[in-house]
Structure formats: structure tokens, C-alpha cells
Chains A and B, each alone.
Chain A
Amino acid sequence: MKRSFFGFIKPRLTYEAIADTQAEPAYVQVSEKIRLLLDQPAEHAAEIVLSVGDHVKSGQRIQTADDAGEYELSSKSGNITDIVPYLGMMQKRMTAVTIAVDPESAQTPDETFKQESPAPTLESAARFLQGLPGKPDFSPFFDPGKLIKAIVVLGVERDLMAVTNQYFIKTGIESIKTGIDVLRKITGIHNVVLAVPEHLVQVAGASGAGVKTVDSEYPASHPQLIVRHILADEMKSGDLSAPADVAFFSAEAVSAMGAAFNTGQLPLNKLLTFISKDGNKRLACAPIGTPLKDILEAFNETVQDADRIIFGGPMTGTAVYSIDEPVQPDTDMIMIQDRSQIPESADIACINCGECVRVCPVNVPVNILVRLLEAEKYEAAASEAELDACIECGLCTYVCESRIPIFQHIKLAKHTLERMKAEESNA
């Protein structure tokens, strides 16, 4: 992962390829509680259909009174012990619901999905399946401004070092096929593309979808780059008029969807790649909502002061501040960094070396951008330095000689602009 000796060669970061000898995932037991994070502000917590002390079943929807809103699926049955406000990334106001889990023998599944969805439909998928592992997102199909014409199933990873989605392609192509069939049926869209790394092309052939190869060089499997490179022919031929016509699902989500409609049971265990301090990579299977400390315990990993724990990958993940943090439906990877491995960042000014400009996959003029961002000229950054074009891959920060936290500046700028826009439209 270091700069190559011959520095004129661009850094080549490659996605991890799943090993032929990849061990089976270790199943992580929940010790006592699970925690679900609802994407709703805390003031709505009072209106939550459920309240502290209520009993929920596994697979039951946990949501606010507003039926159309976001929900999560409880992965275990048990009693709600706590409903508190929770601050997510960029001060996002969310709600954390803690559930004391029933013993394994007393687990009771929720039958609502089975009863209400005898045949697979898009509506029931949106109503029951958005909380599945892999976090399938059906909202593009309900967006009146969009007309989805193609679906891309991502058998590739979102970040370096992960092998989560590849595991589903490699060991469960049958369930992916089932899931793709279901997707075709409920959406009526037949153009389904399975994007996989080259070493999985043969396996992926059995999926019944059109298989496309994605380059192994980071960030080729970024959805926007996939549309641009992999679907370029279809765009040219006019089958797809705009990239906005494409919906994305991860391989894990498709596999879970297929299983849900076939069996009536909701799969609620999240598969994730666990990278320990010594760089060891293992797969873990944990119920959604499992607190981090249970996973650390299962892998015998000790964490001490000033270490760093990352949800998501090394380039785009999120560092967490507590070992009570739960596994979420889209947590593909958990990575532990010893404090000695943490690279320092600095507040030295940009020296205009241009590494970031040459490494940027979408040609953003990062050297100009970072000057505007440091001066908090966010509107100018958007209009003059292509802030919106950034796909948030983190490569500029990875190569920065001055070690400026460019990615953080970019996220902050985007967040601030969004907030300003929201305030304007409210006023």
C-alpha cells in the first residue's frame, strides 16, 4: 500500500480477490443486546409505534409512526430497553433502539411478511426488505423523476480489502440467480447486469444475468464508474439514455431478497469482512445490530486507547468512537488499526505537487479545490472547482504529500452546501 519506488508510476491500489481457500464465516453470537439505528430524528422517537418494554419478534419492522418512513428490521426477538437520540455522521440526527435479546430457544419470528406477501411485489419489497443485509434500496423505482431501465448487481466490493460480496458470488450463485429472477419479476426490468471481478466471471455465468467484468484497480467498482465504463456500449446504442436509468443492488442484498421471497423468512445475518490489527482477514456472520464488542470478543481482538476501529473500508469507511456501535445492514467490513499504524495528517498548506490531480479518477482539479475549501468558499468550490463531480474515493488524500485531510474538507463542503440549500428552500 506504500508509494512505489518509481514514483512516476501512478499508485495502483487493487481490490482484494477472494481466496480459493477462504474459510467459512464465523458465526457471531449476540451476548445480550442488539441496537438498531433508525434514520429518523430523535423528536419522532416519541411517536415510535413501539415503546420501551414492548416485545418485538425477529424480522419485525422497527419504525416511526410515519408508515412510509425509514425502518430497520429487528434481527432478534426481545424486549425494547431503550430508545434514545443518536448522532450519526455530520451530525445526522437518528434514533437508537436497544433490544434485550431473548434466549436462542425462545426466538420467535415475525410472520407479517409471510402473510402479507404471498407473491413477490415491488411494494412488499419496499415495505419489508429495505432492512435486509446489503441494504437494498427500492426508492429509485418509486421516484417519479426516474425511469429505471437497467439493474446492476454489484458482485464487487465497495472498498479495498473486503471480500464480502465476492463470497456470495463464489459460494451462493444459485441464491443470486433466485434473487435476480425475483428482481426481474417485481420490477419488470429484464436488463440485469452482474458486475464481477475477472476471477469470478466463470462462476457468475450461472446467474442468468449479463455478466460484466470490473477492473481490479481501485476505484473501478464505484457505481458511477461502473455505469461509465461497463455500460458505455448500451448508453451509446441508446438502450440507456442517461446513467440515471440504472439501479444498484449489492450481491448480498440480491441473495437475501431471493431467500426472503422464496422461504417467507427474512435473512437477518450480515456477512462482513473482519480485518484484525495484524492484517488477518476473516469473514464473520453477525445478526444486524450486533454490538462491535461481541465481534471483537468472537475474534479475540483486544483494543486499547488510541486504536482506531473502522466500519467500512480503509478508503471510505467511518471511524467509530465506541465499541457499542452496532453492525448495520450495509457494514461490509470492520477493520481494526493499532495506534502505531495510524498515519498522521497535518495542517501544512498545499504545495501544489499535483499528485491528487493526476490520481483523481474523475479529473477534479483538486489543487484548486482544496484552496477554496480551506478558505471555506464552498459555493465557489462548487461552481469553479467541480466539487459536485467528486465521487468520494479518497485517493487524493491517500497520496497527499502535505497530508491534508482533503476528503474531510470535501465531505464538510458538500454537507454545508446541502444544508444551505435546505435552509433556502425552507425560507
Chain B
Amino acid sequence: MPEPFKLTVSHAPFRHNGSRISIKNYNILAATLLAVIPGLLVYGGAALSVVTLSVSTAMIWELVMNYLTRRPYSIGDGNAALMGMLFAMMLPATTPWWVVVVGTFFTIVIGKQIYGGLGGNPFHPAVLAMAVLMLSWGGYFDFNAALVDYQFDFNPVYPLVLVKSFGSGAVEGFSAIDLLLGRQVGGIGTFCGLGLVIGGVYLMLRGYIRWEISCSFIAGILVTAFLFHHANPEAYAGAGFHLLTGYSLFGAFYLATEDSSSPVNFIPMLIYGALGGFLTVLIRNIGAYVDGVVFAILLINLTNPLIDKIRPKTLRKVINYA
């Protein structure tokens, strides 16, 4: 006997908690605005054009790749826009347009799509792009040179350059409050510590980023910087300074926490974050680069598959029940 109607048949479970990738990405995007808006206020139209160009070209690269690889269009999940935004936040406001476009190409095409799209990328796409650009056209990312035409009412020298070249005495003029409130030069979305912290805390509370990674990253920076400072206070700046300058907070909340390239188990997350913080300060203090966050993140991305093998023992199936 034919049924009068057709029922929906699918596999259990029949409920869902309502989460989805797009909700998560749009929440992270909204949180980044807290740090980006101060950047737009300080750097004006130039910053706005970098941000909009970066977000839009990232989405276009995603569309192009979707088309070329004949996969479903995935710009709706917000990840391409988010990656474009994160990439733009690290740039100086004066970055030339072609650098932005090449950067988003590396972010989306090389960093994400060639691995099969979201979830397949072994590195944070925006960090990968940033590393490529820093090594290829490093001159554009020298904040002192890039922002030379701006007038500031505070010391317009990139704090990490100061401390690297002249020791910790040179940065005594920066108070922690000034740094937190963004009275320093830096990337469009990375210089305002307060905006990053509020956004990051919001995301941790909502569970969109994993607090274990962010907190251990910050702890890694603080402990390592403190030890360096303690060993040689004249050469190495204090823990608070390292936390509030460069990409530190941005890295802790937005870079280290990227899903695909970070571990998911509790202890690995702690190791991963702490290692990132440790490497950051190590590169800053004794490495060749002014800021270590980008390379530190790439390095911990590499360790992810290995350290995520540390996981709790499974409760084995022990009985056969009816």
C-alpha cells in the first residue's frame, strides 16, 4: 500500500545544539572590530582601504578557488572574510594594494584552499601569508618606515625595534597603560591591546576560541619574558612590555586559536599555547626578527599533529549488553 505522504528518514541524533561554522566565524569577525575600529580612527582612510581590500580580495580568491576546484561555494561560512580581516589587522596602514592582494592570495589559495579548504590547512592561513610576505618584501612591514608620514602625540618608534636595538632602557617611556590603550605604532588591528583583550575574552566566554590555548600562550610569554628580564634587566624588557607590544595579544587570541591548525585535547592545548609564547619571546630576544609571533605560530602549527597525540585513555568497550 503506498504511503499517503513521505516522512523524513535520517540517522540519529535528531537534535542539534544549533552551532554552525558561520555563526562562529561571524562572532570572531565581530570581536575583531573592537581592535580594528581604533586602527581606523588612528590611521584613517588608508587603514580602511587596506582592511576592505583585504577582506574583499580574500573572499574573491575563495570564490575563484571554489570555481576552479568545482567545490560548493563556501564564502557563506565567513571564514574567507575572517582570514582576510586577520591578515589586514597585521599590516601597517600604508601597505601598497598589490601587497594586500598577493597576501590574500597566499592566505586563501596557498594557506587554505590547496589543502582542500577549511579544516585541511596545517598552518594558520593568514600567518603563512604574513611569513611569506615578511621574507619577500620585508621593507613594507617596517613600521617605523611605513608610518613615517603620520603625526602622533606619542613616541612614534615601534617599541619592539627600540628594545631590540637599544635595550630595555629605551622603552621606559612606554607605560603599560599607554601600551594597553594603543598609544604605540603597530599593525592596523594589533596595537590596541584593550580592544584585543575585550574581544578575546568575549570569544573565550562564548567558546568560539579555546581559552586553554590563549591563556597558556599569554602565560608562556609572561614567564619567558620575566626570566629573560630577570637574567639581564638591561638588555631584555619586562614581561608586561612583551605582552602588550607587537602581535602578542593578537597572536594569543586570533592566531594560535585557529581550529584546524591547533590541538583539541586539554594538555596538548596547554603545551601548544605555552610553547608559542615561549618561542615568541625567544625569537624577539635572541633571534634575528623584531617580532617573533608569526614564526612562533608557524612553528607550533608544525608541532600540532604530534602533541595532539597526548590524549586521555579511552574507556574501552568492556561488555556486550543486549
Residues of A within 8 A of B (CB): 1-3, 5-9, 11, 135, 137, 139-140, 223-224, 227-228, 242-244, 246, 248, 303-310, 312, 314-324, 335, 337, 339, 342-343, 345, 348-355, 357-358, 361-365, 367, 386, 388-391, 394-395, 397-403, 405, 407-408, 411
Contacts and interface: CB of A to CB of B under 8 A. Distances in A.
Contacts of A310: 12, 14
Contacts, number: 198
A6 B207 contact: yes
Given A322-B3, A353-B264, A389 B322 contact: no
Contacts of B321: 223-224, 248
A351 B259 contact: yes
Tell me the dominant secondary structure on chain A's binding face.
loop
Contacts of B207: 3, 6-9
Contact of A343 (B16, B21, B24): B16
A411 B10 CA distance: 13
Nearest to A392: B12
Closest 8 CB pairs of A and B: A7-B207, A354-B264, A137-B322, A408-B11, A394-B13, A343-B16, A351-B119, A362-B315
B230 interface: no
B21 A348 contact: yes
B20 to A, nearest CB: 6
B264 A351 contact: no
B188 to A, nearest CB: 26
Nearest to B74: A348
A358 B7 contact: no
A319 B14 contact: yes
A352 B210 CA distance: 12
27 contacts: A1-B15, A3-B17, A3-B19, A6-B205, A137-B322, A224-B321, A228-B318, A244-B319, A317-B12, A317-B14, A319-B10, A321-B3, A324-B1, A348-B74, A349-B116, A352-B262, A358-B264, A358-B266, A389-B315, A391-B317, A395-B13, A397-B13, A397-B16, A403-B16, A405-B10, A407-B12, A408-B11
Contacts of B8: 306-308, 319, 337, 339, 342
B206 A5 contact: yes
A363 B19 contact: no
Contacts of B317: 224, 388-391
Contact of B14 (A304, A335, A399): A335
Contacts of B13: 314-316, 394-395, 397-398, 407
Contacts of A343: 14-16, 18
Interface string B94-134: 00000000000000000000001111100000000000000
A353 B23 CA distance: 13
Given A6-B205, A317-B12, A353-B259, A243 B211 contact: no
